[in-house]
Amino acid sequence: MPENVVAAQLYTVRQFTQDTQGVAESLKKVADIGYTAVQVSGFGDVSPSEVAKMCSDLGLKIISSHANWQSFVDDVDAVIEEHQIYGCTHPAIGGLFGEYRSVEGLERFVREFAAVEEKLAAAGMDFSYHNHSHELAKFGDQTWLEMLYDRMADNEVFKFELDVYWLQHGGADPTYWVRKCAGQQPLLHLKDMAITPDREQRFAEVGEGNLNWPVILTAAEESGVEWYCVEQDQCYDRDPFESLAISLRNLKGWGFS
């Protein structure tokens, strides 16, 4: 398996990262667990320069962040500047909601993206779209995600940040999508899906649920994934830092380092 390519998606610990002290303490815990890279997401009002210095001091590489799509539309130059401070080239969004959940919304997004992609490319950056499960809703004979892929598969700036849990949640095959997006997915989100005796789907640490990880991870390596981002939207009664540690331990047991 690839080496030194596992990142902690910090949305997992968002309740602890709402001020400068909380960010500092959380980054230290993540580094102590053994992570060497992070994806910035869910932070409060903490300056990018402070975050960049904290990460540098701890030996943590910032590989991406999640920004709001409106921030790209309103001021893509500021988004670019923030990621230059972070020293990363993979800005991303956590998804599109509301009025974008339609065929018309998809076309709107494609038009809006066309207005920002040239500036991103000029700065040496790409753009990654992170899915949830609502993109698997069908409009006619295609899902929203399939329509997006058809429109953007040949775009050199646009990338897919597939989330294997949400693909499974939407009734799709994560491995199929990982292979479908080969060469166009620098970032892959890893989280597992468990089921309770009452048939409740729950987020789980990587390797602690029912997803077919050997097949998914083999497909990811063969498809050119650069960074494997561990994320858990909810950790229930478990400390989120413990959840991050369990996922990393399991990944290391499968050959990641």
Q: Kindly report whether the global pTM for this prediction surpasses the value 0.85.
A: yes
Block mean pLDDT (10 aa), the chain, length 257: 88 98 98 98 97 98 97 98 98 95 98 98 98 97 98 97 98 98 98 98 98 98 97 98 98 93
Please write down the long-range contacts of 96-101, taking CB distance under 8 Å and 24 or more positions apart.
96/69, 96/129, 97/134, 101/134, 101/137, 101/144
Question: Could you tell me if 161 and 94 are in contact, meaning their C-beta atoms sit under 8 angstroms apart?
Answer: no
Domain boundaries, the chain: 6-253
Phi, psi of 122 (to 5 degrees): -65, -30
Which amino acid appears at position 156 of this protein?
E
Please give the CATH number for the structural domain made up of 6-253.
Answer: 3.20.20.150
SS3 content of the chain, % helix, strand, coil (to 5): 45, 20, 35
The CA distance from 106 to 140, in Å, is 14
The reported pLDDT for the residue numbered 202 is 98
Please give the structure tokens belonging to residue 49.
Answer: 């320069």
The reported pLDDT for the residue numbered 88 is 97
The reported pLDDT for the residue numbered 14 is 98
The reported pLDDT for the residue numbered 2 is 72
The reported pLDDT for the residue numbered 257 is 76
